[in-house]
């Protein structure tokens, strides 16, 4: 196993030079934020990830979470690591100060989250879910609920979960059947079964706070009849501590292909008289509330894609530097060389590296959009950033995770035969990454959200705004006088034309023939990702070209960035040529075959 080293240089570059930390630091909410503080946080996180979390990644994979008679025990070392995580205050990094949080912006939390995920994705699903619950309760919990639950969720002494899925209700939440019956004291009794509940049961925390979708007795059918409830594993007592055991039990955990350390639970509510739940917000508004968590979680899963890609890349690059095999191409004598000297190994590593950097840039851009959408003093700016965030969320989730699977697969390939052997660890990334295109909404669901709610319903307005900005990036590169930047500018210009054409087609087709729009949705989402990722890379090249000339700059980093962008421009951006054709001409063929002929 290679050691994980947080890619601090690229993280800082994206945050400070590409996005601009000052834009976020200027927001009143983040008064004391500056580069030094961000550097310090990232460095500490890098250490914690490398020293505490990463060494447990393979332990977690081989040992797995274990179920026994309603309890789940975590793999050796996880409990101690989680305690350290809480003690160091990592759980409350972006939490509100009034509940003990450190109020750092999402753009910093995103980078720190990338580190946790690279180090140990299965571990950090626990804090990821908790932070989703935190955000939902901060925004829609009652005063009393917030006072009761947020301090312990912010510190991480308690953890949180999202309970949506039921056997018949996966992507289609309108089919939820769990019942919630009102009680005279204002609470509810819940009855039903939830499946695929990540960290639904475990031994890391004193209590687990489940947010559960259920129907009240007179609720309308479908999605408009779903309410959201807090159902703690232990009911808080008068002092706010974990008290009486609630009627929710873990029935079993899944035997999964990856993320073995993350317990995926079947939870039974109400087998012994009903699980006590507290209504969050208003009845029948549950799905809308749940989307607060879900959008948060979607970006977080997109980030998992970035993180797994980075980890797989580092692992493969380390192996390629060490593994000696064959001679320099064409040589029949002389020393044998490390496989990193072989052109195709280099191609694979460049595919991994360049796409990971593009994905990071896009994911962090979405994080900055959260900060600006929530905290900008100007309402119009807030709205503009919210639109951008809404557009980017499915793209970051869908594209970064789809690419992560390919990148993890390339990582196995770089290893050759030993990549297929579990001990080297490359296989684990390939297995772990495979969940990311599925949970929190499959790529198909993300793409449908993108083309219907984002592109279709606003007739591509936000995308056109993004395209206009991107065109000025292309023009900037084309007018730079630098042949390398100009070449990248050409590729970007082509790719933007493709994305514009695809967007026009979608805007045109959606009202009249949504089936065709839906059939082209995933190819369109991937096109968005690769082009917008490319735009971020092109801007990165522009910055790097300037910085290469500065005496005090880290020239090695900037020169590598220029070459990495160039690779992206020549290998990834041309895919837009194929993608636009598939989006605009492929839908009919997708829908043509009758069901019986499959």
Q: Which of residues 516-545 bind its own copies (CB under 8 A)?
A: 516, 518-519, 521-522
Best CA proximity match to 120, nearest among 301, 307, 303, 300: 307
Query: Which tokens hold the place of 412?
Result: 């196995």
Q: Is 481 in the site for its own copies (CB under 8 A)?
A: no
Phi-psi region of 100 (alpha: psi -120 to 50; beta: other; left: phi over 0): left
Nearest distance, CB of residue 307 and its own copies, angstroms: 18
d(CA 327, CA 330): 8
Minimum distance from CB of 111 to its own copies (Å)? 21
Sign of the alpha-carbon dihedral angle for 223, 211, 216, 284: negative
Minimum distance, C-beta of residue 474 to its own copies, in the bound complex (Å): 17
Stretch that binds its own copies, among 10-18, 109-117, 336-344, 535-543 (CB under 8 A): 336-344
Question: Given the rule CB under 8 A, which of 51-59, 78-86, 129-137, 334-342 is the region that contacts its own copies?
Answer: 334-342
User: What minimum distance in Å lies between the beta carbon of 325 and its own copies?
Assistant: 5
Q: Which of 340, 465, 478, 553 binds its own copies (CB under 8 A)?
A: 340
Q: How far is the CB of 575 from its own copies (least distance, A)?
A: 5
The residue behind tokens 């001679």 is 327
Residue 431 binds its own copies, judged by CB under 8 A: yes
Question: Using CB under 8 A, which of 346, 374, 459, 464 touches its own copies?
Answer: 346
- Kindly state the smallest distance separating residue 486's Cβ from its own copies, in Å: 14
- The answer to whether 476 and 547 are in contact (CB under 8 A) is no
Report if residue 412 touches its own copies, rule: CB under 8 A: yes
Cβ nearer to its own copies, comparing 185 with 598:
598
* Shortest spacing between CB 591 and its own copies, in angstroms: 6
Tokens of 1: 């196993």
Judged by CB under 8 A, does residue 246 bind its own copies? no
Whether 362 and 533 have beta carbons less than 8 Å apart is answered as yes
Interface with its own copies, residue 254, by CB under 8 A: yes
Is residue 8 involved in binding its own copies (CB under 8 A)? no
Beta strand pairing status for 179-182 and 275-280?
unpaired
66 interacts with its own copies by CB under 8 A: no
Q: Is 417 in the site for its own copies (CB under 8 A)?
A: yes
Distance CA 559, CA 401 (A): 28
Cα dihedral sign for 423, 427, 433, 435? Answer: negative
CB 355 within 8 A of CB 418: no
Continuous segment of H or E residues that includes residue 176: none
Angle at 476 between CA 550 and CA 396, to 5 degrees: 95
Tell me the three state secondary structure of residue 307: helix
Question: Which C-beta is closer to its own copies: that of 257 or that of 468?
Answer: 257
Q: Judged by CB under 8 A, does residue 512 bind its own copies? A: no
When the beta carbons of 240 and 511 are compared against its own copies, the nearer one is: 511
Query: How many whole angstroms separate alpha carbon 57 and alpha carbon 464?
Result: 42
Closer to its own copies at the Cβ: 472 or 597?
597
Q: Which of 440, 458, 486, 550 is catalytic?
A: 440
The CB-of-131 to its own copies minimum distance in angstroms stands at 22
Query: Which residues, numbered 129-148, are part of the site for its own copies (CB under 8 A)?
Result: none
341 binds its own copies (CB under 8 A): yes
Question: Is 440 among the residues known to form the active site?
Answer: yes
- Rule CB under 8 A: choose which of 76, 97, 220, 222 binds its own copies: 222
Bridge partner residues of 191 (DSSP): 179
Q: Does 587 bind its own copies (CB under 8 A)?
A: yes
Among 96, 139, 321, 459, binds its own copies (CB under 8 A): 321
Cα–Cα–Cα angle for 224, 230, 236, rounded to 5 degrees: 165
**Comparison of 249 and 561: residue with beta carbon closer to its own copies:** 561
Does the footprint of its own copies cover residue 196 (CB under 8 A)? Answer: yes
Question: Helix or strand or coil: residue 125?
Answer: helix
DSSP tag of 166: B
Three-class SS string for 436-471? CCCCCCCHHHHHHHHHHHHHHCCCCHHHHHHHHHHH
Cα-Cα-Cα-Cα dihedral of 139, 142, 144, 145, to 10°?
A: -60
Is 423 a binding residue for its own copies by CB under 8 A? The answer is: yes
Whole-number minimum distance, CB 432 to its own copies, in Å?
10
Binder of its own copies out of 20, 70, 326, 511 (CB under 8 A): 326
Q: SS3 for 193?
A: strand
User: Total residues contacting its own copies (rule CB under 8 A)?
Assistant: 100
Interaction with its own copies in 162-181: which residues (CB under 8 A)? Answer: 165, 168, 170-172, 175
Q: Which residues are catalytic?
A: 440
């Amino acid at each position: 196993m290679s050691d994980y080293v947080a890619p601090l240089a690229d993280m800082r570059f994206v945050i400070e030079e590409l996005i601009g930390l000052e834009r976020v630091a200027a927001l009143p909410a983040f008064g004391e934020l500056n580069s030094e503080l961000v550097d310090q946080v990232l460095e500490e996180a890098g250490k914690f990830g490398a020293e505490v979390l990463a060494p447990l990644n393979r332990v977690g994979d081989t040992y797995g979470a274990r179920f026994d008679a309603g309890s789940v025990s975590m793999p050796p070392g996880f409990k101690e690591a989680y305690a350290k995580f809480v003690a160091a205050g990592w759980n409350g990094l972006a939490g509100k100060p009034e509940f003990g949080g450190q109020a750092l912006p999402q753009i910093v939390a995103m980078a720190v989250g990338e580190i946790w995920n690279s180090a140990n994705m299965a571990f950090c699903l626990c804090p990821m879910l908790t932070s989703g619950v935190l955000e939902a309760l901060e925004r829609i919990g009652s005063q009393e609920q917030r006072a009761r639950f947020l301090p312990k969720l912010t510190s991480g002494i308690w953890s949180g979960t999202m309970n949506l899925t039921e056997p018949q209700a996966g992507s289609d939440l309108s089919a939820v059947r769990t019942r919630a019956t009102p009680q005279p004291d204002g609470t509810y009794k819940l009855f039903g079964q939830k499946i695929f509940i990540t960290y639904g049961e475990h031994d890391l925390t004193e209590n687990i706070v489940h947010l559960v979708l259920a129907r009240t007795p007179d609720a309308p059918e479908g999605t408009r009849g779903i309410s959201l409830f807090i159902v703690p594993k232990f009911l808080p007592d008068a002092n706010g501590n974990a008290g009486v055991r609630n009627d929710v039990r873990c029935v079993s955990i899944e035997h999964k292909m990856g993320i073995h350390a993350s317990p995926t639970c079947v939870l039974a509510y109400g087998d012994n008289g009903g699980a006590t739940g507290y209504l969050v917000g208003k009845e029948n508004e549950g799905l809308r509330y749940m989307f607060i968590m879900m959008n948060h979680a979607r970006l977080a899963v997109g980030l998992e894609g970035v993180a797994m890609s980075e980890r797989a890349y580092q692992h493969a690059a380390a192996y390629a530097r060490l593994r000696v095999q064959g001679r320099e191409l064409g040589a029949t004598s002389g020393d044998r060389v490390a496989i990193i000297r072989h052109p195709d190994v280099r191609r694979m590593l460049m595919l991994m590296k360049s796409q990971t950097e593009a994905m990071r840039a896009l994911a962090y851009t979405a994080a900055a959009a959260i900060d600006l959408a929530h905290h900008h003093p100007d309402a119009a700016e807030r709205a503009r950033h919210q639109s951008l965030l809404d557009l980017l969320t499915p793209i970051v989730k869908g594209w970064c995770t789809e690419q992560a699977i390919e990148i993890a697969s390339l990582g196995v390939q770089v290893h050759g035969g030993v990549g297929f052997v579990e001990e080297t660890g490359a296989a684990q990334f390939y297995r772990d990454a495979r969940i990311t295109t599925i949970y929190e909404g499959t790529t198909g669901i993300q793409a449908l959200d993108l083309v219907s709610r984002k592109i279709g319903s606003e007739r591509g307005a936000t995308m056109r705004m993004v395209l206009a900005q991107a065109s000025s990036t292309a023009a900037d590169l084309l007018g730079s006088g630098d042949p390398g930047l100009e070449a990248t500018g050409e590729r970007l210009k082509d790719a933007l034309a493709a994305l514009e054409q695809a967007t026009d087609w979608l805007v045109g087709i959606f009202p009249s023939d949504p089936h065709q729009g839906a059939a082209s949705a995933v190819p369109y989402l991937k096109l968005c990702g690769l082009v917008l990722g490319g735009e971020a890379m092109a801007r990165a090249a522009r910055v790097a070209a300037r910085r290469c000339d500065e005496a005090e700059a880290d020239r090695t980093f900037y020169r590598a960035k220029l070459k990495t962008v160039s690779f992206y421009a020549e290998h990834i951006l041309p895919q837009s040529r194929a993608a636009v054709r598939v989006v605009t001409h492929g839908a009919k063929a997708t829908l043509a075959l009758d069901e019986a002929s499959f």
